[in-house]
Structure 1
């Protein structure tokens, strides 16, 4: 079963803030191709495919990669946390469903909270 799901771990919605919901997922990866495969697998779930943002970062043998998916700066927040924790050969995806109210700088704190929840569950 692990091979079929690429090691994808989904914690689901870990927090809400002013209507926005945040979920966090991740998987072991060693290449950009594997990152894309994990993202594709995650998005086979209709809810994740329709999410406002699927922001992610990965620390690969070739270096760090990140994508904000419209949530400007959020990929770097995830990448920095992974570097600090020494989490390598892994991708962490923070999914946000926008709740109608802008969060300003708090959105970065919510991304950090989601990544922290994932790291605690490793």
Structure 2
């Protein structure tokens, strides 16, 4: 713990990450690993006995015929639903880093969408972890959200419109917001690893530890060729916290 400690990083999160890594290497599954399903919590962050999964972009249901536009040298691979109801993003990395395809409701993520985020989006400077590969970089993007459509629009905007981020090895994310249509202070939260196993849960834990609310945090990582081991979670959490602090979501 002393060797892994870094000033400004929550010690509890660090300890949890190290314990989780040891358990996974031993073939054990942490009891708190629920697979990243979306849940609603009360105002103290407690999960109900019956969790409600939040609808997101990874639904495998494909309503209607699909057609694929082939990737060229200057564009991303994008698959359009033939009915116009959903738009699907396929990473230009293919399956190399285990990134899933992303499906979004077309009316939600369109340029004239009523769910378009108009508040400022915060982005951290690129960070290169120590003892990493020459092309290793991480950065965080943070914005305010108050409903799932805001999350979908923000994610689609990042991976469609920013070609640099769309080519990242991983765009892991977590969000947490109060549901306006739910009484008693219910909180909606979810996360996604985007191929970086365990990273989504780390980001969710960070949001809870910081008591960050009505926020989406996305950490983009470009793998530099050198495996960082469990230390990668420390840097992912550190970059995410930097973004939350810059955006004013810590200590509100």
Q: If the length of structure 1 is used for normalisation, what is the TM-score?
A: 0.88
Alignment length (residue pairs): 120
Q: 1:52 to 1:6 in 2, by over 3 A?
A: farther
What does residue 45 of structure 1 align with? 162
Larger strand proportion, structure 1 or 2?
1
1:109 counterpart (234, 241, 244)? 234
- Normalization by structure 2: what TM-score? 0.45
Bigger shift: residues 37-46 or 90-99: 37-46
Give me the CA root mean square deviation: 1.7
Runs of at least 4 residues off by over 4 Å: 3-6
In the alignment, structure 2 segments of 5+ residues that lack a partner are 1-115, 179-186
* 1:59 lines up with 2:176 in the alignment: yes
The structure with more radius of gyration: 2
- The 1-side partners of 2:245 and 2:146 are apart by 22
How much does 1:7 deviate?
3.1
Larger proportion of helix: 1
Residues 21-60 of structure 1, C-alpha deviations (whole Å, 9 max, x = no match)? 1010011111222111111111211110000100000012
Unaligned runs of 5+ in 1: none
Structure ranking higher on relative contact order (CA contacts 8 Å, 6+ apart): 1
